[in-house]
A and B are shown apart, each in its own frame.
Chain A
Amino acid sequence: MKSLLSVLLLIVAGCMLLASLGAPAVLTVGAQGRATATNVPIIPHESAPNFFKLPPGVYTGENMGIATNSRGHIFIFHRSGETRLYEYDEKGVFVKEIGRGNYGFAFAHSVRVDAQDNIWAVDEGTNMIIKFNPEGTKILMTIGRRPDPLAQTASMPGTGGATYANKPYEFGRPTDVAFDARGNIFVSDGYDDARVAKYDKDGRFVKSAGTRGNGQGQLNTPHTIAADAAGNIYIGDRGNARVQVWDNDLNFKAAYTNVGNPWAVCVSGGPHQYLYVSNSWPDSAPAGSVDFTGEIYKMELDGKIIGKFGTAGKALGKFATTHQMDCRNPDVIFTAEINNWRSQKITLKPQAIKAAAQ
């Protein structure tokens, strides 16, 4: 009798959970579009098999963020039982976990490493940006503030209204962070707000720009952000299916509208910088879009497409919802993928580009 009751309770709880998850789905962001660029050359690529090696009993969940430091170590920010941040060496061997149980981790979104090798985690569950020292042993700075847990119970189960507050030091599910050469910090914010916020290197708010919409300088889910050596920023304006380029003072400069819905953008290191843009397979892995999503574009910073690689899928070398990329080395791309709970090390062979009829 008692066990029957607990089974019933479980079922009821499960149904309630499903109801709460299912209800808001009508408000989904725009369906994943087909990229409009044509006759794009294919860049041959290879994925290193079994590159990331975990000790027994250690797993990753949805791989949301990936970044490398100057020594080639790789950081993966993922949604496991808890949200967790792992460090691997340059051979893909697990080194250690960083930041476990800290107050800023609830729902991973991205990780970046700055020019000094500090590690920055962006968490859209606590609305916080957390800066760790290069060793990952200390928290050096936080931006944003985790909402008072007690106040949150007033709007649980967590589908409460967005604030659209655009406050200087509070985010609405922030998505990513970037840095210019002077150490200024740019936060793409996010699912609830629709703006980019700029801070100086000491975390002091400078300005923010952007409102929700599809006009010039407007954003619809700014999902990913990167900066080039000149201080321009590249915003993956995912809901509007375009990459926007803004100058360092957050003024609109250009939009690249032919590479699908940018889930992840990355600006490479090296003297000649490239822009990589992922038109990712959407996160529910719908069969209907498997044939025209998943590819990653390599572009010049001015928007000229050089080539593309990959398609949607779960096999090695295909991409199962690329959520973040690292391209410190323009010919070695690391991808963090939601759908197959994995990351990949991709080696490009751009010298072997051959024209393709798309």
Chain B
Amino acid sequence: MKRTLTFALALSTLAVSISLMAQTSVPEIPFDSNADLFKMPPNTFLGEVAGVATNSKGNIFVYTRTGHPYATLGDSRTFYHAGSRLFEFNANGTFVRELGQDLYGFNAAQGLRVDPQDNIWTIDIGANQIVKFDPNGNVQLVLGRKPEAVGVRPAAPRGAPAESPAPATTAGAGAARGGRGAAPATQGAAPAAAPPAVPGAAARGGRGAGAGTPGSAFSRPTDVAWDRSGNIYVADGIGNNNRIAKFDKDGTFLKSWGQTGSENGQFTGVRSMAIDAQGNLYVADSGNKRIQVFDGEGNFKSQITDIGVPQAICISRGATQYLYSAHSGDPDGMVDATIYKIGLDGKVSGKFGSAGKLPKQFGLVNSIDCRSENELLVGEMTNWRVQKLPLRPGK
């Protein structure tokens, strides 16, 4: 028995060293960082940066979880407000303006993209919506509907299971609590692994409709992309749906594909998505540690693996397009992180960066802008910042 164990240990050591060798064979791309890019107005702060993207003029848009998400007491329902803001900066980082002030669907920022016509698209997992702003900042299109109310159930007392027949009340985050130390009231920090609460679904007493959901009944959508005809693809998402939904340019639903699973064409957490010049879709299937490639009709073409857990991806412009994919291997962004540069054929050409809070380190990268192949903008969740990263790949 002991010998078997030793053998197994030796084998696993071998396996680890082989995988380490595989990893170290990826060249490091030298790079710099400007982690202090933005000049914010007084008492305005970035929070978790869910989305960052540039427009054709080089202006930078940031969709961030900041301010106070709060709920109001109404009738028997609980209403969810605020929690995210959208800022615009010029290329030098000077603040230009805020967009979408007090917007109904700005609750839990998840992503932001700018389309070829410089329209700004925000993705929100609190409201389960995609909102399109024209370059002037006017709302042009809304996909999905924010649930009227959020599902709230009474908390369990300390140490008890989560169900208890106490009266359900609600209050702003942490606002209605007892005096200092008088009661074990808690923010109720749910473990990161807790199943995502799906607003609306919980309020109706059931789960989301799941795979094959028609239309725009999104479940924590994460990203948006467009093909040359202006068709809209929505990555949907990290809730129950695990699908890609396709709409025409006016927002009419066309089709969707995918379901929960690990086979080709199935997903376990769609975290990000990008499209190449040929109209192929690259879908970050983070739970399965791969990027799947589809044509615009949803036919599976190939997959890219050995790139860790892809959390945010981006495809550069130009004659030779590259795919950047941010890997975060631990829940805190403090242990295991890097960004891979990958050819569209799936070959990894380099990587850069590590986990942490210093410049050139990454705390849960959630968004990459790669309009310029060698000057990326990277938005991080735990470090509340955007880093501008000039890359110096060797020739």
Pick the most buried of B178, B186, B197: most chain A CB atoms within 10 A of its CB.
B186
| B196 lies within 8 A of A161 (CB) | no
Kindly list chain B residues whose C-beta atoms are within 8 Å of the C-beta of A104. Answer: 47
Closest CB-CB distance, A172 to chain B, in whole Å?
Answer: 6
Determine if A137 is an interface residue (Cβ-Cβ < 8 Å): yes
A170 to B390 Cα, complex, angstroms: 32
- Contact residue among B64, B69, B155, B180 (Cβ-Cβ distance under 8 Å from A321): B180
| A103 lies within 8 A of B45 (CB) | yes
Given A23-B166, A155-B155, A192-B189, are A283 and B183 also a contact pair (CB < 8 Å)? Answer: no
Per-residue interface assignment for chain A, residues 14 to 55, with 1 indicating a CB less than 8 Å from any chain B CB and 0 otherwise: 001101110111011100000000000000000000000000
Determine if B170 is an interface residue (Cβ-Cβ < 8 Å): yes
| A172 lies within 8 A of B189 (CB) | yes
Given A24-B157, A157-B168, A168-B334, are A149 and B188 also a contact pair (CB < 8 Å)? Answer: no
Interface residues of B in 186-235 (CB under 8 A from A): 186-192, 194, 196-197, 199, 202
Closest CB-CB distance, B361 to chain A, in whole Å?
Answer: 9
Instruction: Output the nearest chain B residue to A26 by Cβ-Cβ distance.
Output: B183
Given A106-B68, A149-B126, A157-B176, are A192 and B186 also a contact pair (CB < 8 Å)? Answer: yes
Kindly list chain A residues whose C-beta atoms are within 8 Å of the C-beta of B178. Answer: 21, 24-25
- Contact residue among B67, B170, B183 (Cβ-Cβ distance under 8 Å from A25): B183
| B181 lies within 8 A of A155 (CB) | no
Determine if A97 is an interface residue (Cβ-Cβ < 8 Å): yes
| B42 lies within 8 A of A156 (CB) | no
Pick the most buried of A20, A27, A147, A150: most chain B CB atoms within 10 A of its CB.
A150
Kindly list chain A residues whose C-beta atoms are within 8 Å of the C-beta of B22. Answer: none
Kindly list chain B residues whose C-beta atoms are within 8 Å of the C-beta of A29. Answer: 181
- Contact residue among A145, A161, A238 (Cβ-Cβ distance under 8 Å from B382): A145
Interface residues of A in 304-336 (CB under 8 A from B): 321, 323
Kindly list chain B residues whose C-beta atoms are within 8 Å of the C-beta of A20. Answer: 166-167, 169, 176
A62 to B182 Cα, complex, angstroms: 15
| A154 lies within 8 A of B108 (CB) | no
| B190 lies within 8 A of A154 (CB) | yes
Determine if A152 is an interface residue (Cβ-Cβ < 8 Å): yes
Per-residue interface assignment for chain B, residues 268 to 289, with 1 indicating a CB less than 8 Å from any chain A CB and 0 otherwise: 0000000000000000000000
- Contact residue among A101, A106, A223 (Cβ-Cβ distance under 8 Å from B173): A106
Determine if A287 is an interface residue (Cβ-Cβ < 8 Å): no
Instruction: Output the nearest chain A residue to B184 by Cβ-Cβ distance.
Output: A27
Determine if A9 is an interface residue (Cβ-Cβ < 8 Å): yes
Kindly list chain B residues whose C-beta atoms are within 8 Å of the C-beta of A25. Answer: 178, 182-183
Pick the most buried of B151, B197, B199: most chain A CB atoms within 10 A of its CB.
B197
A126 to B174 Cα, complex, angstroms: 8
| B181 lies within 8 A of A238 (CB) | yes
A152 to B192 Cα, complex, angstroms: 11
Determine if A209 is an interface residue (Cβ-Cβ < 8 Å): no
Closest CB-CB distance, A250 to chain B, in whole Å?
Answer: 19
Determine if A100 is an interface residue (Cβ-Cβ < 8 Å): yes
Instruction: Output the nearest chain A residue to B188 by Cβ-Cβ distance.
Output: A160
Per-residue interface assignment for chain A, residues 263 to 284, with 1 indicating a CB less than 8 Å from any chain B CB and 0 otherwise: 0000000000000000000111
Given A103-B47, A106-B68, are A168 and B332 also a contact pair (CB < 8 Å)? Answer: yes
- Contact residue among B45, B68, B162, B176 (Cβ-Cβ distance under 8 Å from A99): B45
Kindly list chain A residues whose C-beta atoms are within 8 Å of the C-beta of B331. Answer: 169
- Contact residue among B125, B159, B187, B192 (Cβ-Cβ distance under 8 Å from A126): B187
A20 to B186 Cα, complex, angstroms: 12
Determine if A173 is an interface residue (Cβ-Cβ < 8 Å): yes
- Contact residue among A149, A169, A283 (Cβ-Cβ distance under 8 Å from B83): A149
Instruction: Output the nearest chain B residue to A19 by Cβ-Cβ distance.
Output: B167
| B382 lies within 8 A of A101 (CB) | no
Closest CB-CB distance, A354 to chain B, in whole Å?
Answer: 34
A148 to B186 Cα, complex, angstroms: 14
Interface residues of A in 166-199 (CB under 8 A from B): 167-170, 172-173, 191-192
| A338 lies within 8 A of B188 (CB) | no
| B357 lies within 8 A of A203 (CB) | yes
Kindly list chain A residues whose C-beta atoms are within 8 Å of the C-beta of B151. Answer: 153-154
| A101 lies within 8 A of B43 (CB) | yes
Determine if A215 is an interface residue (Cβ-Cβ < 8 Å): no
Closest CB-CB distance, A102 to chain B, in whole Å?
Answer: 4
Determine if A303 is an interface residue (Cβ-Cβ < 8 Å): no
Determine if B158 is an interface residue (Cβ-Cβ < 8 Å): yes
Closest CB-CB distance, B123 to chain A, in whole Å?
Answer: 14
Query: Can you give 23 A-B contacts (C-beta < 8 A)?
Result: A99-B45, A103-B47, A103-B48, A103-B66, A106-B174, A107-B174, A107-B177, A151-B190, A152-B197, A153-B78, A153-B151, A153-B197, A156-B71, A157-B168, A157-B169, A160-B187, A160-B190, A161-B156, A162-B186, A163-B190, A163-B191, A204-B357, A283-B180
Extra 14 A-B pairs, beta carbons < 8 Å, given A20-B167, A82-B68, A153-B202: A9-B75, A21-B176, A21-B177, A126-B174, A137-B40, A139-B384, A141-B357, A145-B381, A154-B194, A161-B159, A162-B158, A162-B184, A165-B189, A173-B187
Closest 10 CB pairs of A and B: A160-B188, A103-B47, A125-B174, A160-B155, A169-B332, A155-B188, A283-B180, A16-B169, A102-B45, A149-B69
